[in-house]
Amino acid sequence: SISIIQWNTKLHHDIPVQFQDIEDKGEEFKKQYLFDEFVDCWIQYLKIAINTFGLSHHYVAIAYNSIGNTYYDRRQNEHAIEFYEKVLQEFINIKSTMITLEIFGFNNDDVAYLFWTLGLEFETLGNYKTASGHFEGAWKTYTALFREWHIRTLQAKMKLSFFCLLANYGNPKVSIELFCFYSLVIFIVLLSFPYFFKVKI
Going 65 to 68 to 70 to 75, the CA torsion angle's sign is: negative
Q: Tell me how far CA of residue 141 lies from CA of 73, 102, 133, 150, 184, in angstroms.
A: 25, 14, 12, 12, 26
Same domain membership, residue 121 and residue 182: yes
Same domain membership, residue 180 and residue 153: yes
Mean pLDDT score of the chain, rounded to an integer?
75
Q: Note the pLDDT of residue 196.
A: 39
Residue that finishes a domain, picked among 48, 66, 101: 101
Residue 158 included in any domain: yes
State which amino acid sits at residue 199. V
Q: Note the pLDDT of residue 134.
A: 82
pLDDT digits (tens, 9 = 90+) for 148-167: 878 888 888 888 877 777 66
Same domain membership, residue 69 and residue 112: no
Mean pLDDT (whole number) for 76-94: 80
pLDDT top residue among 31 and 56:
31
Report how far residue 168's alpha carbon sits from residue 72's, in angstroms, rounded to the nearest whole number.
Answer: 30
Which residues form the domain of 113?
105-187
Please give the tally of structural domains in the chain.
Answer: 2
CB count within 10 Å of CB 188 equals 10
Mean pLDDT (whole number) for 124-145: 82
Same domain membership, residue 118 and residue 90: no
Taking Cα atoms as reference points, which of 85, 164, 70 lies closest to residue 118? 85
Q: What is the pTM of this model?
A: 0.56
